[in-house]
Amino acid sequence: MLNTERPHPLHAELDLYNTQQLLSALVEDHHHAVEAVRRALPALEQAVEAAWPRLRDGGRLLYVGAGSSGRLAVLDSVELPPTFSWPPERACAVLAGGPGAMFQAVEGAEDQPSRGSADIAALQPGPADVVLALAASGSTPYVLGALQQARQAGALSIGFANNPDAPVLRGADIAVLLDTGPEVISGSTRLKAGTAQKIALNSFSSAVMVRLGKVYGNLMVDLKASNTKLLQRTLALTLRASGASEAQALQALEACGFRVKTAIVMLRLGCSASQAELRLQACQGQVRLALAHDGAAPS
């Protein structure tokens, strides 16, 4: 029996717990999710190091999953554009059952490897792309079909599963085992197995974005200012990173279309928006390198 399907040895009488005991059991069990991801750090490091150069050179992040795992994959993909200005066409997720399965379970969709293969093939993966294949069981046919197709196309494949020696792990170039063990509610992998997947995905994609220059210090300087809250955040980030006055920061942001990285370089070096953009382009968007690049703003 898979670890994720085994009955939890400590909670055989869960239905007899009072509410306090029940909530405590559920919450405390999520500590094991953190430990599982911590044990997977070497594999996650390998995944980040293999992935970010491909993405730097124009590759895409392609996610595939079913059920809870698939919804977590979709969530990670859709959060990258507003958080890091990552192009949405370079963060694509396919979910067993199609987009509607995000909101309503499509039973049986995960049992079709040919559908997974076709869905990934429709994205035309190539050697520059990175495919993230998620399955708590590690044996979901839809995910395995997609994984096989991705590897045939030469894409880098990273498998995430919550059971040791799972087919998704064996079939991927890099295997990320998140061995969370049995769930408090037997087999309900939306619990700590899902938590571990969320932590692992979040950590992987965030680390990749840092390596790609989307962060300066620990400031999220490549966000899209798409609403009032984010407009305010761009100002706060620019103030913190540049040391300029609020009036100076706002003037710089307005001059560069509220691009925080550009505004920081403008204010720190006293150059125009176009000069700052040229400098950032020469340094592949890395603010720290742009500030030091050849000692003067390009003409």
225 band by pLDDT with thresholds 50, 70 and 90: confident
pLDDT tier at 294, thresholds 50, 70, 90:
low
Q: Give percent above pLDDT 70 in the chain.
A: 98
Distances from the Cα of 43 to the Cα of 3, 126, 215, 298, angstroms: 20, 22, 23, 41
Instruction: Of 6-10, 125-129, 141-145, give the lowest mean pLDDT range.
Output: 6-10
Domains of the chain: 3-211 (3.40.50.10490), 215-295 (1.10.8.1080)
For the segment 208-228, the average pLDDT, to the nearest whole number, is 92
Distance of alpha carbon 64 from alpha carbon 46, whole angstroms: 20
Whether 79 is a known active-site residue: answer yes
pLDDT at residue 298 tops 70: no
Pairing, β 130-135 against β 61-65: parallel
Note the pLDDT of residue 117: 97
Please give the pLDDT value at position 295.
47
**For the chain, what percent of residues have pLDDT higher than 90?**
91
**pLDDT score recorded for residue 149:** 97
The predicted model gives 208-229 an average pLDDT of 92
For the whole model, what pTM was predicted? 0.92
Strand partners, 101: none
Catalytic residue (choose from 13, 45, 110, 254)? 110
Please, which pLDDT band fits residue 230 given cuts at 50, 70 and 90? Answer: confident
pLDDT over 80 at 293, yes or no: no
Instruction: Specify whether 277 is catalytic.
Output: no
pLDDT at 93: 97
For the stretch 74-102, pLDDT in tens is 999 999 999 999 999 999 999 999 999 99
Of 35, 49, 79, 254, which residue is the catalytic one?
Answer: 79
What does the pLDDT average to over 97-121? 91
Q: Is the dihedral of CA 238, 241, 242, 245 positive or negative?
A: positive
**According to the model, what pLDDT value does residue 60 have?**
98
What phi-psi label fits residue 12: left (phi over 0), alpha (psi between -120 and 50 degrees) or beta? alpha
Q: Tell whether the model's pLDDT for residue 53 goes beyond 80.
A: yes
How confident is the model at residue 296, as a pLDDT? 44
**Residue range 21-32: average pLDDT?**
97
Confidence of residue 34 (pLDDT cuts 50, 70, 90): very high
- What average pLDDT score do residues 174-179 get? 98
Give the DSSP per-residue string, the chain: --GGGSPPTT-TTGGG--HHHHHHHHHHHTHHHHHHHHHTHHHHHHHHHHHHHHHHTT--EEEEE-HHHHHHHHHHHHHHHHHH---GGGEEEEETT-GGGGTS--TTGGG-HHHHHHHHHTT---TT-EEEEEESSS--HHHHHHHHHHHHTT-EEEEEESSTT-HHHHHSSEEEE----S-SSTT-TTTHHHHHHHHHHHHHHHHHHHHTT-EETTEETT----SHHHHHHHHHHHHHHH---HHHHHHHHHHTTS-HHHHHHHHHHT--HHHHHHHHHHTTT-HHHHHHGGGS---
